[in-house]
């Protein structure tokens, strides 16, 4: 209920301040589970995307949003919960298994699942390599993956800024992709549960994840970098201050 209330309050306000235009909404299936795979330029991606789709989106968000005990941290945690975000551990290993399980449970309920395949916000506005988890979710659940491009959200709220800037936002949706077209077999039925992938399936998951990013790039027009964004961020954080690029 709170999700609907927050959306009803925010939608007219944000549309007045940040005009939002959508393209390709007809690509969203009318019912059933759907994975919305989006690029990630700004924290506000998780605000604008739910406003333009007809059903509730459940996001898998980093656990850091829920652990900061400062006033700002508490407010952020409250807000991300209201817009349907579930905390996940991005450290890998067991954390990745928990993320997969939560994602599969969401899809088994026939819901929209919002996911950022890059795993983190872009450090510089470019599009980075997807982690293969998005393809594994599609394979395990049988849900279609709809590529999404958030455009100009990085100008609304660049990384490191607190106050959003007025700027039009565009949200584009592409044609859905299906795991069966990459894995060579029908994807597992919903609620099948996670299992270990074979080497061949891992290669198929990689191919599907790469194709998802290719579709997103076609929608967004971003420059693609065949590296993980998290690795680029780590390298820049370790570099001497004089060698770090300006991230705005």
Q: What is the pLDDT of residues 187-245, one digit of tens each?
A: 555 445 556 788 999 999 999 999 999 999 999 999 999 999 999 999 999 988 766 66
- Give the orientation angle of helix 45-52 with respect to helix 2-17, to 10 degrees: 100
The token pair that represents 57 in the structure block: 């989106």
pLDDT of residue 17: 85
Q: Whole-angstrom Cα distance, residue 20 to residue 39? A: 17
Decide: helix, strand or coil at residue 198.
coil
Decide: helix, strand or coil at residue 52.
helix
- Helical (H) or strand (E) element with 161: none
The token pair that represents 80 in the structure block: 């991300």
Cα Dmax for the chain: 52
The token pair that represents 228 in the structure block: 């993980």
What's 36's DSSP letter? E
Residue 190 CB-density burial (10 A; 0-12 exposed, 13-18 middle, 19+ buried): middle
Q: Whole-angstrom Cα distance, residue 138 to residue 35? A: 7
Give per-residue pLDDT as tens, 96-124: 677 788 899 999 999 999 999 998 999 99
Q: Whole-angstrom Cα distance, residue 48 to residue 15? A: 9
Please say if the pLDDT value at position 143 is more than 50.
Answer: yes
pLDDT of residue 136: 94
pLDDT of residue 191: 47
Cα–Cα distances (Å) from 81 to 57, 59, 85, in that order, read 11, 9, 5
Give per-residue pLDDT as tens, 145-202: 999 999 999 999 988 887 889 999 999 999 999 999 999 865 555 445 556 788 999 9
212: nearest Cα among 49, 60, 41, 38: 38
108: nearest Cα among 145, 61, 141, 60: 141
């Amino acid at each position: 209920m709170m999700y609907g209330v927050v959306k009803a309050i925010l939608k007219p306000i944000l549309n007045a301040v940040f005009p939002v235009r959508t393209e390709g909404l007809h690509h969203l299936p009318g019912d059933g589970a759907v994975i919305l795979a989006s690029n990630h330029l700004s924290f506000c991606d998780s605000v604008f995307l739910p406003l333009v789709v007809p059903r509730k989106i459940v996001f898998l968000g980093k656990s850091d949003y829920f652990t900061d005990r400062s006033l700002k941290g508490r407010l952020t945690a409250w807000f991300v919960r209201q817009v349907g975000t579930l905390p996940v551990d991005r450290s890998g290993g067991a954390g990745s298994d928990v993320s997969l399980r939560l994602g599969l449970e969401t899809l088994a309920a026939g819901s929209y699942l919002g996911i950022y395949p890059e795993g983190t916000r872009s450090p510089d506005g470019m599009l980075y390599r997807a982690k293969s988890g998005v393809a594994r979710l599609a394979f395990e659940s049988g849900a279609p993956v709809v590529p999404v491009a958030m455009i100009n959200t990085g100008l609304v709220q660049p990384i490191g800024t607190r106050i959003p800037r007025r700027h039009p936002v565009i949200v584009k949706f592409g044609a859905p992709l299906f795991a069966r077209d990459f894995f060579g077999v029908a994807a597992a039925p919903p609620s099948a549960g996670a299992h270990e992938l074979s080497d061949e399936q891992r290669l198929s998951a990689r191919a599907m994840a790469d194709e998802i990013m290719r579709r997103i790039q076609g929608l967004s027009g971003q420059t693609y970098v065949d590296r993980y964004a998290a690795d680029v961020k780590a390298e820049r954080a370790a570099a001497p201050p004089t060698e770090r690029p300006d991230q705005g």
